[in-house]
Amino acid sequence: MKSLHRTSTAQESLNSSAVNSSAVNSSAVNRRTLLGAALGVGGTALLAACASQGQGASSSSSAASASASESATASAASSSASSTAAASSTAPSPIASATSASASASASASASSSPLALAQPSVESQPDSLRCLVNKMRPFAQQDWEPSDLVEFYGHQLRAEAAKAADTMIDAAATDGVTLLVSSAYRSYAVQQQTYQYWVSVNGQQVADQLSARPGYSEHQTGLAIDFASPEGCRLEECYRDTLAGQWLVKNAPRYGYILRFPDGRQSVTGYLFEPWHYRYVGVQIAQEYMSSGAKTFEEFIGTGAAPDYASAN
């Protein structure tokens, strides 16, 4: 793979800003304050099933702040992510799906009583599939699943195939005079868990759900998602769509297998406000099929239905 360790001066500045960002004022909820650094934590491969469709979602009444989602959360994570990973490794294997009805009922009752409750998923597809869909209704079946093929990528980590495609795309953009910076990529379950718990402790769960994906529900955990940035600014803000980088990505990203994951005006389906910086790798063939299908979201393309809120919204 070529040049995956390259880091431009602008990228170095972006990475440095992410690593050294100061503590966040807990009362602020704007993008500039809440969105920032992203941590990538690699790990050993765990073979597991991907996500499932939960039951009975309802639209969130506090959607106005939902756009400060997964990208915001990593700036709150501390260096103790590895200890959190050890704790999360006790999650039951999704492959053991032949459990009794009573055991399932017991698990559901236990989950619903916890403020960090995670929906109990059924086995549908593999998390390493390019078609794997993760959202508020479809968590990872094995909550602490980690990709087996992570590579270093512009100061972050990404799955090898996605990194190779993104590297080619970044080169193509540069040829057109456009600079694509990488703000965030893979984030582990451990980092997401620690970050989400931090926001719950500071602001309570209702606000935390607007600012951070619950652990096991973050698309960044697939190792297939990238948050891009631009030297022009508008980092992790809606105005990113007006930058040269944002405009170039909308026009060209599908040619390299990347799709805009949270499009404008589709929060009732995706569960998130417009995020013009967040792109998901699905491969060139699937990206072309998606663009030709007329679907406005990946949920509609896959045919799973809307995911405006968590299946177990306590």
CATH code for the domain of 155: 3.30.1380.10
How many domains are there within the chain? Answer: 1
| Domain range enclosing 267 | 9-88+120-302
Using the predicted structure, report yes or no on whether residue 19 has a pLDDT greater than 90.
Answer: no
pLDDT per position as a tens digit, 139-178: 998 988 999 999 999 999 999 999 999 999 999 999 999 9
**pLDDT, averaged across the chain:** 71
Sign of CA dihedral 274, 277, 282, 283: positive
Q: Is there a domain that residue 114 lies in?
A: no
Q: Is there a domain that residue 34 lies in?
A: yes
Q: Is there a domain that residue 101 lies in?
A: no
pLDDT per position as a tens digit, 108-119: 333 333 333 333
CA atoms within 13 A on the CB side of 298: 24
Q: Which residues are catalytic?
A: 275
Q: Is there a domain that residue 33 lies in?
A: yes
d(CA 236, CA 68): 8
Q: How far is CA 6 from CA 83, 167, 235, 245, in A?
A: 30, 10, 21, 19
Q: Is there a domain that residue 245 lies in?
A: yes
> Of the ranges 29-33, 47-51, 153-157, 193-197, which one carries the lowest mean pLDDT score?
29-33
Q: Is there a domain that residue 63 lies in?
A: yes
- Tell me how crowded residue 202 is: count the other CB atoms within 10 A of its CB: 15
Average pLDDT of the residues in 56-83: 39
Average pLDDT of the residues in 86-112: 35
Using the predicted structure, report yes or no on whether residue 7 has a pLDDT greater than 50.
Answer: yes
Q: What is the pTM of this model?
A: 0.67
Residue predicted with more confidence, 114 or 51: 51
Q: Is there a domain that residue 261 lies in?
A: yes
Q: Is there a domain that residue 98 lies in?
A: no
- pLDDT value for 49: 39
- pLDDT value for 311: 79
What is the maximum alpha-carbon separation in the chain?
Answer: 60
Residues 6+ apart with CB under 8 A from 268: 59, 306, 308
